[in-house]
Structures are given as structure tokens and as C-alpha cells.
Amino acid sequence: MTKKIGDKAILQDVTLQVPTGGFVAVLGPNGAGKTTLLKILSLLLPPSAGQVKIAGRPAEAADPSLRRQIGVISHSTLLYSHLSAAENLYFYGRLYDVGNLPLRIESVLEEVGLRYYFHDPVRTFSRGMQQRLAIARAILHEPALLFFDEPYTGLDQHAIEILNGVLRRLRDERRTIFLITHNFEQGLDLADRVVILRRGRVVFNEETASLRGADFKKLYLQKVEG
């Protein structure tokens, strides 16, 4: 697919195929088109040319059943500051028709370590706590397809461990995951495939099994410097 804004191509002839349960780390320098790719794949933006297929079905943004299968962590938390943690999750849970919602809210808050902040307004949370709550929001409806856009931003070491725990659980449950990150180590450690974008094009697309940390850093620099 291709995405153009005006005459400028943000993504050019990008072709990716990810099997169900695949974990793809998307790397690339700033401005490479990673977030645009995520927005197109999560059905927020239509491509200018080409098509997105999810589970073999052409993805239509207007199809609510398909959007119910998608969870997104973006740069922003997508949370209402004046509502409490539980109220935010309750609101999103009702939008996604989550069954047994009170129990599910308790469960996800426990998983991200915010069980004791159930009734606290989000505006009183630190950046890291808000990001953890954003993770809880994204996994609340147990989506089959997850997009994480720089999820490590603003997280302390404890929160990074929590996020990695969530990512491992989701990977073990065979959910399909796209992780956009600048952190090679995390990407290589968790993903089974690495994609490098440069100026809107895929310049590298390989399984992680054959890649080693130190070598990969050199390879990455070669790829992004052209």
C-alpha cells in the first residue's frame, strides 16, 4: 500500500504479511512513516492506494466487528483526565461491549499494577501510571490484533517490566502484535519478526531468530542510513 498526503508519499509500496499470532517489531528513524503505518493498519486512516486485509477480509473502517478485534496504544493515552481509572475503563468497556465488565476492569487494573488507584482521577496519575492505564484500556476488550506505538515512553523500570509481562502474555496467547519502538533490545527480545522502515519504504523484513543484538545495531544503522 501507499499513503500520500498532498504530493508527499508517507508510505510507498509497503507490503507486509503477518500470520495470526505473529509479533512484529517495527523500527525506523523519526519520520520513517511508522505511526502512519500503524494508523492505516488500525483502520484510522485509509491508504491512498492498496488494501489492508485482516483475517483475509478487506478491512473497512466502518466495520465495527473488525474494530472490536483491534487494540491500540498510541503516543497519547486516550484517557479522560477528569474521570477515575475505573470510570475510564467502564466507559471504554461499554463501547466495546465487554462482558462481565466490573470483574474484567479489576483484572486488567491488577495486571498493570493499578488496583489500588481504582477510584483516583486520571489527572492525579504520573505519566507512567497513565501509560499503564492506557495499556489496561487497550487490552480490556481482549483484542486479537494489537498495535503498540512507542509504549515504553515515560515508563519507569517497574512499569517496563509490567508492560513486558503483558506483551509476553499476549504473545503466548497467540495474539497478533505490532510493536513500534526505538528500543532494539526490547524489539528483538519480544518479536519474532523485525521490519525496518526508511522514508516510507520497507528496507528490512526478517525473522528475529537469526539476528543477534550487536550485529543488528550495525545492520539497523546501515539500513536507515541507506
Residues making contact with other proteins (CB under 8 A): 42-44, 62, 64-65, 67-68, 70, 72, 74-83, 87, 91-92, 94-97, 121, 137
By beta-carbon proximity to other proteins, the closer residue of 62 and 214 is 62
In the chain, beta strands by DSSP E: 3-5, 8-11, 23-27, 53-54, 57-58, 70-73, 145-149, 176-180, 193-198, 201-207
Taking the complex as a whole, the smallest distance from the CB of residue 76 to other proteins amounts, in Å, to 4
By beta-carbon proximity to other proteins, the closer residue of 27 and 145 is 145
Sheet order of strands, 23-27 included: 70-73, 145-149, 176-180, 23-27, 193-198, 201-207
By beta-carbon proximity to other proteins, the closer residue of 39 and 171 is 39
Give the bridge partners for 84, in sequence order.
121
Taking the complex as a whole, the smallest distance from the CB of residue 183 to other proteins amounts, in Å, to 22
By beta-carbon proximity to other proteins, the closer residue of 44 and 219 is 44
Distance CA 47, CA 129 (A): 34
Taking the complex as a whole, the smallest distance from the CB of residue 80 to other proteins amounts, in Å, to 6
